[in-house]
Amino acid sequence: MIKAVAVDMDGTFLNKQNDYDRPRFEQLFSRMQEKGVRFIVASGNQYYQLRSFFSSYQGITYISENGALVFNDQGLQQERHFTKELTEKIITFLVEGAHDLEFVTCGIKSSYMLESASEDFKRFARIYSYRLEELADYAELPDDPIVKFALDVEVEKTYEIAEHLNEAFAGEITAVTSGHGSIDIIIPGVTKGRAIKSLLEEWGIEPNELAAFGDANNDLEMLALTEHSYAMKECSPDVLATAKKQAPSNNESGVLQVVETLLA
């Protein structure tokens, strides 16, 4: 029996219009609550952005910033962040590095980027960060623990740049790709899968009582947790190899289709 459902958002739960079938989900969520099934939103995005998709709902758990932060109706429950020294080291590398990188520095209270960033990058950043401040210089960075760095790079250079970052900060950071030129710099060992595993233990739920859905490589750890793991129709090769099953496309409400069947 399924007792928890964990979903990635972009490319998984959300369709290409950056939305979902809201009436269908409302009915399904009501059934999940009746059966005591937990619903977990697990994403690399900012909590405030994720919460905006479900503003009228209570009882949802949010794993944001690729596992660094966990929120529920009572607020922030778990957090992991970079040290101040490592934060400064990473910022210096990104600003002065050879790849001419633009990036968002993600804190607990807000996210931050430079005023000098290109308009294209600012549009990208605003999609994923609803609380976003522009700084003249990173010397003005507020006293807000930093949990992640988000980059948007040329698609064909994504893996090259991620590998370069992992080599430059071996053991200190993990650079993961979430598709379409996006790279997240996260704390080693801090993943969606680890955060979900901790929640399942807290709730007394076995891993194989979880259904998990994803499409990109930052979903691998959570998909590896359970036999009820679903790769979306459009997904990375690694996701297809890791997940035990395949779901229909996110543009066909694939997650909702599968969960309806699981609860039947």
CATH class of 4-79+190-263: alpha beta
Tell which residue, 237, 204, 209, has the closest CA to residue 225: 209
pLDDT(25) > 80? yes
Look at residues 121, 188, 191 and name the one whose alpha carbon lies nearest to residue 153. Answer: 121
Q: Where are the domains of the chain?
A: 4-79+190-263, 84-186
Longest Cα–Cα distance in the chain: 55
Separation between Cα atoms, residue 182 and residue 236, nearest integer Å: 13
Q: Predicted confidence band at 55 (pLDDT cuts at 50, 70, 90)?
A: very high
DSSP symbols for 128-197: H-SSEEEES-GGG--S--EEEEEEE--GGGHHHHHHHHHHHTTTT-EEEEEETTEEEEE-TT--HHHHHH
CA 70 to chain centre: 11
Return the CATH architecture of domain 84-186: 2-Layer Sandwich (3.30)
pLDDT of residue 192: 95
**Minimal CA–CA distance to 68: which of 39, 92, 43?**
43
Distance CA 67, CA 56 (A): 23
Per-residue pLDDT, 178: 66
- Per-residue pLDDT of 101-116, as tens digits, reads 889 999 999 999 999 9
Structural contact between residues 172 and 198, judged by C-beta atoms closer than 8 angstroms: no
CB 9 within 8 A of CB 33: no
Strand order in the sheet with 111-114: 132-135, 111-114, 103-107, 146-152, 182-186, 174-179
Whether pLDDT at 146 is above 70: yes
For residue 99, is pLDDT > 80?
no
Q: What is the pLDDT of residue 149?
A: 95
Enzyme catalytic residues: 8
Confidence of residue 179 (pLDDT cuts 50, 70, 90): low
Q: Which two tokens stand for residue 205?
A: 């739920």
- Output the average pLDDT for the chain: 94
User: pTM value?
Assistant: 0.91
Q: In the prediction, which pLDDT does 177 show?
A: 81
Strand order in the sheet with 60-64: 75-79, 69-72, 60-64, 38-42, 4-7, 210-214, 228-231, 245-246
Q: What percent of the chain has pLDDT over 70?
A: 98
**CB within 8 Å of 62: residues ≥ 6 apart:** 40, 41, 43, 47, 50, 51, 69, 70, 71, 72
